[in-house]
């Protein structure tokens, strides 16, 4: 899975090539993308934790 920094670097490169995005909209898009990446990371950690708990529950039976 790509890291937050990798994704944000790609976005910066895209914005440098295509400067149509500008000002507040660009900042809003950037913050939205960062938030979505953070949510993705949290959900991945939650999934890993739940998978571990499930494995422990199976072994304790």
Sorted by where each begins, the domain ranges of the chain are 22-61
Which pLDDT tens digit goes with each residue over 16-38? 887 765 566 777 888 899 999 99
Q: What is the pTM of this model?
A: 0.69
**Quick check: 37 and 7 in contact, CB under 8 A?**
yes
User: Can you give the pLDDT at residue 23?
Assistant: 62
Sequence-distant (≥ 6) Cβ neighbours of residue 4 within 8 angstroms: 34, 37, 38, 41
């Amino acid at each position: 899975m790509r890291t937050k920094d990798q994704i944000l670097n790609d976005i910066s490169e895209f914005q440098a090539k295509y400067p149509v995005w500008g000002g507040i909209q660009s900042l809003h898009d950037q913050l939205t993308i960062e938030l979505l990446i953070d949510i993705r990371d949290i959900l991945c950690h939650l999934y890993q934790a739940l998978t571990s708990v499930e494995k422990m529950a199976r072994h304790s039976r």
